[in-house]
Amino acid sequence: MNKETSARQFAEAGADLSLVNVTKRFPGFTAIDDLSLDIPAGSFFALLGPSGCGKTTTLRLVAGLEEPTEGRILVGGKDVTDTKAYQRPVNTVFQSYALFPHMSVLDNVMFGLKRRKIADADQLAKDALALVELGHVANRKPAQLSGGQQQRVALARAVVNRPALLLLDEPLGALDLKLRRQMQLELKEIQQEVGLTFLHVTHDQEEAMTMADTVAVMNQGRIEQMGAPEELYESPQTSFVATFLGQSNLFTGEVSGSTNQVITVSVAGQELRVPTDRAVSHRGDVTVGIRPEKVVLHREKPAQSSSVTVLGPGRVTDASFSGVSTQYLVEVPGMGQIIVFAQNTSLGEHASEGDEVFVSWQVDHAFGLADAPAPEGKYVSDTDTVSVAVQEREKLEAEFEEA
């Protein structure tokens, strides 16, 4: 049986997922704060954010491994808030694979089917292995497989149950870089073929943007911004999204002029222009951003133009070669340090530390944010290990009392 035939065997439509005003409180902190979210059936949706942002708690709430303090969870329009985990049409693929080492690959995939006394479990498991192109290793033990193969077995075991919703909890975190990128493409391909709804939780920006149709960036229990990967990257709306999803040069100043096309922001005596439709705020103090790969490094001052922003002279304080590009840090008086990514398209001379340079970028590439960068840095984790420990202890005490 080929991969296409196997995909058709599993092509039952996924279900939509809705979270309605969901809040999850632990002793001492709130992990999820009034979260509402709609994920269409058949989509590949990613929750992206740093440790402690609430993404894994959200996944555990959907899986039924945690109970919300407030709010409702609906799968396929059915309220499952009070439904036990094993009764939900949901399966989870974990980073640790969680395969049974003493069982063969085929028995691992069949395990859930046999427990539920599903007819023809053997053939269904073989179909699932064919889908992930592992039919030839059905009789091996997990320890005889590579990390990527084990991950695909875990995926087959989840898909074979035909869940309406498949949850992916940092599924590629244990793989090396090359294998992780290969698996990103394979997961996306399988999701498109099978048609299930995938909810993917990750802190890896590249992973989320490579695989997902829609990405929601989470911070401190809330969604900062949601949309297509390209939209989030090219037009971030908050400083958190601008700095967590890739890198950004950010400048804060006061709006000194505006037209229907652009707003002008005065920063340390320099005028930075942003297209009006790419700026969230149009008056008062505004933070302007530009991605490092949009910035061009010049030896000589480029000609002034209404379509180009020019800053300098500045001085290169660091030059780091990374293969496909060279990262420069340029100190411009009054503007701080500007990051520049220059693609290595030739073998010509590159700028060196100490060189005097100018930087420029197209006005159309700039964006205006709704807020200013937090003074304490990029982002703040809301993880409270003491509170988590208290929660775990209370669970154990409750179990002892019941026993």
- CATH number, residue 340: 2.40.50.100
270 is a domain residue: yes
Residue 29 sits in which domain range?
3-232
The pLDDT, as a whole number, for residue 381 is 43
Residue 103 maps to a domain: yes
Is position 208 within any domain? yes
Is residue 77 one of the residues assigned to a domain? Answer: yes
* 337, 292 Cβ separation under 8 angstroms: no
Same domain for 277 and 213: no
pLDDT of residue 344: 84
Residue 295 lies in a domain: yes
147 shares a domain with 253: no
74: domain CATH number?
Answer: 3.40.50.300
If asked whether residues 132 and 216 sit together in one domain, one would say yes
Same domain, 218 and 307: no
- Same domain flag for 211 and 270: no
Residue 105 in domain: yes
C-beta of residue 128 within 8 angstroms of C-beta of residue 6: yes
Q: Examine the domain organization and report whether 177 and 295 are in the same domain.
A: no
* Regions of the chain where pLDDT drops below 50: 1-11, 377-391, 403
User: Does 227 lie in the same domain as 249?
Assistant: no
Q: Does 228 fall in a domain?
A: yes
Q: Which of 368, 268, 381, 382 is nearest to 314 (CA)?
A: 268
Report if residue 358 sits inside a domain.
yes
**Cα separation, 105 vs 237, whole angstroms:** 46
The reported pLDDT for the residue numbered 402 is 52
What's residue 13's pLDDT?
59
pLDDT of residue 307: 93
CA-nearest of 400, 398, 402 to 67 is 398
The token duo for 78 is 């059915």
The structural domain count of the chain equals 2
pLDDT at 119: 83
191 and 42 co-located in one domain: yes
Give the pLDDT of residue 382: 43
**186 burial type by CB count under 10 A (0-12 exposed, 13-18 middle, 19+ buried):** middle
Instruction: Return the closest-CA partner of residue 248 out of 234, 263, 262.
Output: 234
Q: What is the pTM of this model?
A: 0.81
Residue with tokens 């498991």: 125
**Collapsed DSSP state (helix, strand, coil) of residue 172:** coil
Give yes or no: residues 60 and 101 share one domain. yes
One domain for residues 90 and 133: yes
**What is the spatial distance between Cα 121 and Cα 112, in angstroms, rounded to a whole number?**
9
How high is the pLDDT of residue 339?
96
CA 367 from centre of chain: 21
- The pLDDT value given to residue 11: 45
